[in-house]
Chains A and B, each alone.
Chain A
Amino acid sequence: MSTYEAKGVVDDPVLQWVTFRLDNETYGINVMQVQEVLRYSEIAPVPGAPPYVLGIINLRGNVVTVIDTRLRFSLSQTETSDQTRIVIIETGNQVVGILVDAVAEVVYLRQSEIETTPNVGNEETAKFIQGVCHKNEELLILVDLEKMMSDEEWADLNDF
């Protein structure tokens, strides 16, 4: 590798993103935060939980809270299908599941390919978006998982 190419790698690193579908849009999350992807299984409701908590699942003896991603993203509710998946993510010191319509693929993006979104509007969901990217003639929305919930909400998830 030439010095020029090496400098290019450092300045413009390549990142891997797991993409998933939600209400006909494609979203991406950093692959480093994804532990595994599960088929949809029964989610036990949690009494007294906030609406964005769908319930809990038993993941090899560990209780994992599953978040209603559609509700969190202010999208309409839909029935589950064969494509529905629970993506187990790790953020901070917590392991949670997010329910998505389908998991698509892992894509490689250079940092320079990621565009920032216009900082307009007051919608809660806008703060989840880390950036966007045009890949394979479609828009990929990159999600900052840690901003999906407030610190207090993340802390509350420990108690479910």
Chain B
Amino acid sequence: MTGPGSAKSGKQKTVIVKAVVKEYLDTILADVFPEISDEPEETLLEASKAPEPNQAPPIDTRQASSDLQESYLEEAPLPTADAIDKVSIAPTLSNSAVEVPTIEEKKQSKVEVIEATQAKALKEVSDTISALESVEPEAEVELQYPQAPPWAQTGFDILLFNVCGLKLAVSMESLGRIIKVEHDTSKIIGKPDWFIGSYHESEQHLYVVDTAKFIMPEKGFDLAELGFDYIIQLQRSDWTLACKEVYKTIRISPDQVKWRSQKGKRQWLAGTVIEHMCALIHVDSLIALLQEQAS
């Protein structure tokens, strides 16, 4: 299929290919010209001013480097390689001093190395292009329930639990563990009033949240005083919700929930389970809120 999307995709592929080639050639150039790329230019200039005895007179280094560049550019017509040569090779070589036999030998060997690496790079680029072309563009999936999270597009299980007489629901998909509280929590100073403390379980320190105080502060409940029998771990995070009673799990379909947007004041609320008239918790948002407010 052609269109604006495919043109954009083509541009992206070109950018990726260029980036691959540039990165690859940078690596090669660093390997081939370690003394040039690592040493400061001043050092090379000083070396050129003090030739050793019994050596042939120095050649015009600018001409030599220019020859090298030209030969390289002729044999390496890749646009990206061209750009890289102009940027990184030319200024460095133009100031360096080498003797004629040495540079010719090096030139020969380097050209051979470059030819080999170019061929390898071209093969890799062509493989990358083939791979990119073989990848089908992702089909746009139209969600049947746009306001519902992805995990709730089909039937899903929820756990109903009770906090100070209020029934709440949480998706089983978002649950870690349900832990029966068998020992005290350790209080941690300097935390918000909804932070009951830390509960040690299976070599993990879990943070216990006073669900009533966090979710419905207007009701004035205090779970730390009233007591709680279970903590419900949110995903695999350290956060757990304290509750008095765990009812049961039920399977519901997305149309049994009145979904709400997450832009409102109660970002932890995913929606209302109509049949049970209870709030369905949006676990990801709740974890984010807890992290934000606890820090």
Check B216 against A156 for contact (C-beta < 8 Å). no
Task: List residues of chain A with CB within 8 A of the CB of B275.
Answer: 58
Q: Does A38 contact B (CB under 8 A)?
A: no
Q: Does A37 contact B (CB under 8 A)?
A: no
Q: Does A87 contact B (CB under 8 A)?
A: no
Q: Does B265 contact A (CB under 8 A)?
A: yes
Q: Does A63 contact B (CB under 8 A)?
A: yes
Check A46 against B279 for contact (C-beta < 8 Å). yes
Check A159 against B264 for contact (C-beta < 8 Å). yes
Q: Is the interface of B mostly helix, strand, loop or mixed?
A: mixed
Task: List residues of chain B with CB within 8 A of the CB of A49.
Answer: 218
What residue of chain A has the Cβ atom nearest to residue B268's Cβ?
A: A48
Contact A159-B261, Cβ < 8 Å, known A46-B279, A48-B269 = yes
Bound CA span A50–B279, Å: 15
Bound CA span A33–B216, Å: 32
Check B278 against A58 for contact (C-beta < 8 Å). no
Count A-B contacts at CB 8 Å: 47
Check A51 against B260 for contact (C-beta < 8 Å). no
Task: List residues of chain A with CB within 8 A of the CB of B217.
Answer: 48
Task: List residues of chain A with CB within 8 A of the CB of B167.
Answer: 44
Q: Does A54 contact B (CB under 8 A)?
A: no
What residue of chain B has the Cβ atom nearest to residue A49's Cβ?
A: B218
Check A48 against B265 for contact (C-beta < 8 Å). yes
What residue of chain A has the Cβ atom nearest to residue B272's Cβ?
A: A63
Which chain A residues numbered 101 to 120 have a C-beta less than 8 Å away from chain B? none
Check A159 against B278 for contact (C-beta < 8 Å). no
Chain A residue total in the interface (Cβ 8 A): 17
CB distance from A7 to the nearest CB of B (A): 49
Bound CA span A98–B260, Å: 22
What residue of chain B has the Cβ atom nearest to residue A51's Cβ?
A: B218
Q: Which of B216, B258, B278 contacts A48 (CB 8 A)?
A: B216
Bound CA span A44–B260, Å: 17
CB distance from B263 to the nearest CB of A (A): 9
Bound CA span A159–B260, Å: 6
Task: List residues of chain B with CB within 8 A of the CB of A13.
Answer: none
CB distance from A132 to the nearest CB of B (A): 34
CB distance from B262 to the nearest CB of A (A): 10
Check B272 against A48 for contact (C-beta < 8 Å). no
Bound CA span A58–B264, Å: 22
Bound CA span A86–B255, Å: 25
Check A58 against B274 for contact (C-beta < 8 Å). yes
| A-B contact sample (12 more), CB < 8 A, given A48-B218, A62-B274 | A45-B165, A46-B279, A47-B166, A47-B266, A51-B218, A56-B277, A57-B277, A62-B258, A156-B264, A159-B261, A159-B265, A159-B269
10 residue pairs A–B, Cβ–Cβ below 8 Å = A44-B277, A44-B278, A45-B166, A47-B266, A57-B277, A58-B277, A62-B274, A63-B258, A159-B261, A159-B265
